[in-house]
Structure 1
Amino acid sequence: MFFLLIGVVGLLLKYLEIGPVATWSWWVVLAPFGLAVLWWWWADKSGYTEKKAMEKMDKRKQDRIDKQRSAMGMLSKKRK
């Protein structure tokens, strides 16, 4: 997402001819989009995306369990 944001800002600055970006080559301005594609490819191939999704799901599940235990008075101290 960071590379995509940098790419959009660079693209706007180049198109509107603002600052030093106006003199840069289009290859330099469009490079963050290529880096974003490489990042997404790597994240999918390495399992990073799936790992983050599973961590989020596990946290939601544990929060739900803790809330139910607390409502029943079974939770002696909050889990970290």
Structure 2
Amino acid sequence: MPLIIIIVLLSALKYFEFGPLENLSWWWIVGLFAIAFLWFEFGERMLGLDKRKAHEQLEKARKDRVKKTFK
């Protein structure tokens, strides 16, 4: 997620031609978007990070239900 925030920030700075980014090519920004897309589409799946996050959320919800039930 920090990667997306950085890309959006860089895009805004480039659009408003702020500081040293006014001379930066848009292809660098588009390249970063492509890298982010490839990471979230393929990289996380290959490393199993998407399943791990989903499992952690389900486990937290289960523990919260158990805690609420026995209090």
- For Structure 1 versus Structure 2, the TM-score category normalised by the shorter chain is 0.7 to 0.9
Q: Which amino acid aligns with 1:22?
A: E
Divergent runs of 4+, >3 A: none
Q: Give the gaps of 5 or more residues in structure 2.
A: none
CA distance in 2 between counterparts of 1:51 and 1:9 reads 28
Q: Do structure 1's residue 24 and structure 2's residue 24 form an aligned pair?
A: yes
CA distance in 2 between counterparts of 1:20 and 1:30 reads 18
Identity of aligned residues (%): 34
CA distance in 2 between counterparts of 1:42 and 1:55 reads 19
Contact 1:10-1:29 at 8 Å conserved across structures: yes
Deviation at 1:32, TM superposition (A): 2.2
Residues 56-75 of structure 1 mapped to structure 2, 5 A cutoff: 56-70=57-71
The structure that is helix-richer by fraction is 2
- In structure 2, the partner of 1:10 is 10
- In structure 2, the partner of 1:51 is 52
CA distance in 1 between counterparts of 2:38 and 2:20 reads 26
Equivalent residue pairs, number = 70
- RMSD between aligned residues: 1.5
